[in-house]
Amino acid sequence: MTSIRPLLALALPAVLAAGCAAGSTTEAAPKKPTYTIDKEADGRDVYTEEAPQPLPIETEPAGPEAAAPSSEPVTGPAGDMEEDTDSDRSRPTGTSGTSGGKIVYNMKPPKGYKRYNAPGAYNVTKLIYPRREIFGVFTDQQRNQVADRTALGKKVGMQPNMIKSFYDWNNGFDPNWARQIWAAGAIPQYELEMQDPNVATIAEVARGQHDEYIRNLAKGIRQANVPVVFSPWHEFNGDWYPWGFCGSASKANSNACQVKNKAGDFRNAWRRMHNIFKAEGATNAIWLWQANQIGARPKVGLKQFYPGNSYVDWLGVVGYYYGEKGWYHTFDSIFMPTIKHFKKFSNKPIFIPEMGMDNYNRPKDIHNFLYGVAKRSDVIGFLWFNYNKPSEIDFRIERNAASTRAFKKYIHKAAFGFNPKSPVKNRYNAKTHK
């Protein structure tokens, strides 16, 4: 998603003193140019570009988390089971909505899986591999997101168990924001952007020029002491954001091409942030590394941006259904190319942290999407961009009666929904919305 985000970012009370962006510096910063950023840039167009020159990739030794996920059957909203020729799992067929699909759950942690948790910090280990599917939501940040999430949950018969908010660089982290969402029964998801490269760039983060700001973010998350899904610099493989990547087919004045980010800077900046969080004991952060679906930029490889299994909890793929524009309108065309690409370098759980659809054929597309998520044990859920964007599309699930009915019908035909406070054993109670 693009231009709506800067407008939605809440101006939280500043937690930093003047000059917070500078932080401690490990080397002298070069003279900084002035950038002119197009905040209306949109990255959802399809175009072809040649492969960029390969960049050196830092590798990590194989460990328990590098092992392939366990083989187990998967489920869809409905239908009979047939052999899946693309994997060692079974999948349901049929789209009638009748019974017949066997509900099974997401992949288990690899044998020997361990995750460091700081003393006294909320242990998020069980949330990393939830057995049931996450149903998350982004709602209008200008409104009460908890109340809107509750209202939506009543309409579809299942309460979303994750709520996303977008924040720009230099916004502080409000522990009360996270605690309120957690108290309501959902996981807070903090999406960190860097909309103005005149304020900060990923190269500066990699050099240590913004350590103090990052340290204060980590302290705020640790103070909240509830699970927080933390994701900096989403859709990094696109050229529409200032923190993105300038490819061979990108226009010279695109946001990413002005800044000229390097994949190595992205990796190093990510690792630096992660290390600061760990030093501050903020291990209650779940690290979500999310790419835009690769159909928009098929030749930009993702491995070059990957900081390594030790620095990532979930792989994320952002994608939208655009049947009205003749672009993407199936789970296989939107998400599967990226999921298959992920498998080349990691077997971490996969989350769809941002998706939505136009009104091309909502009931059919909703079934197609929920079926696609449910049938893969390595995809742990999704988060719907539930916002009426005036300049583009009303993405809300409840935009019309047909959409709401279809969603309500199919969300209950697979293993969606759980109480985040007991993510492994809990079965969702649709009647009480718990």
Cα 302 to Cα 300: distance, rounded to the nearest angstrom: 6
Report the amino acid identity of residue 330. Answer: T
Catalytic residue from among 65, 193, 212, 235: 235
Cα 283 to Cα 298: distance, rounded to the nearest angstrom: 34
- Integer CA distances (angstroms), 56 to 59, 237, 239, 306, in order: 10, 16, 20, 12
Q: How many residues does the chain have?
A: 434
Cα 160 to Cα 34: distance, rounded to the nearest angstrom: 42
Q: Among all chains, which residue has been given the structure tokens 């057995």?
A: 131
pLDDT at 326: 84
114: which 2 tokens? 């361990």
Cα 111 to Cα 70: distance, rounded to the nearest angstrom: 9
pLDDT at 11: 38
Q: Are 316 and 293 in contact (CB under 8 A)?
A: no
| Domains of the chain, each with CATH number or no CATH | 4-9+61-113+125-411 (3.20.20.80)
Cα 73 to Cα 57: distance, rounded to the nearest angstrom: 34
354 is catalytic: yes
Beta strands 90-92 and 81-83, pairing class: antiparallel
Cα 298 to Cα 189: distance, rounded to the nearest angstrom: 28
Cα 113 to Cα 416: distance, rounded to the nearest angstrom: 24
Q: Which residues, 6 or more positions from 11, have their beta carbon under 8 angstroms from its beta carbon?
A: 171
Residue 197 burial class via C-beta count within 10 angstroms: exposed 0-12, middle 13-18, buried 19 and up: buried
Residue 381 half-sphere exposure toward CB, CA atoms < 13 A: 27
pLDDT at 296: 81
354: which 2 tokens? 């941002």
Residue of 124, 324, 363 whose CA lies nearest to 230: 124
Instruction: Determine the Cα angle at 312 with ends 11 and 243, to 5°.
Output: 50
Catalytic residue from among 193, 212, 280, 354: 354
pLDDT at 267: 98
Taking only the tens place, the pLDDT of each residue in 271-305 is 999 999 999 999 999 999 999 999 888 889 999 99
**Regions in the chain scoring below 70 on pLDDT:** 1-30, 39-104, 425-434
Q: Among all chains, which residue has been given the structure tokens 């009915």?
A: 405
- Integer CA distances (angstroms), 320 to 26, 157, 329, in order: 40, 24, 8
Dihedral (CA of 385, 389, 395, 400) sign = positive
pLDDT at 380: 97
Report the amino acid identity of residue 193. Answer: E
Taking only the tens place, the pLDDT of each residue in 391-418 is 889 999 999 999 999 999 999 988 999 9
Residue 297 burial class via C-beta count within 10 angstroms: exposed 0-12, middle 13-18, buried 19 and up: buried
Taking only the tens place, the pLDDT of each residue in 116-135 is 999 999 999 999 999 999 99
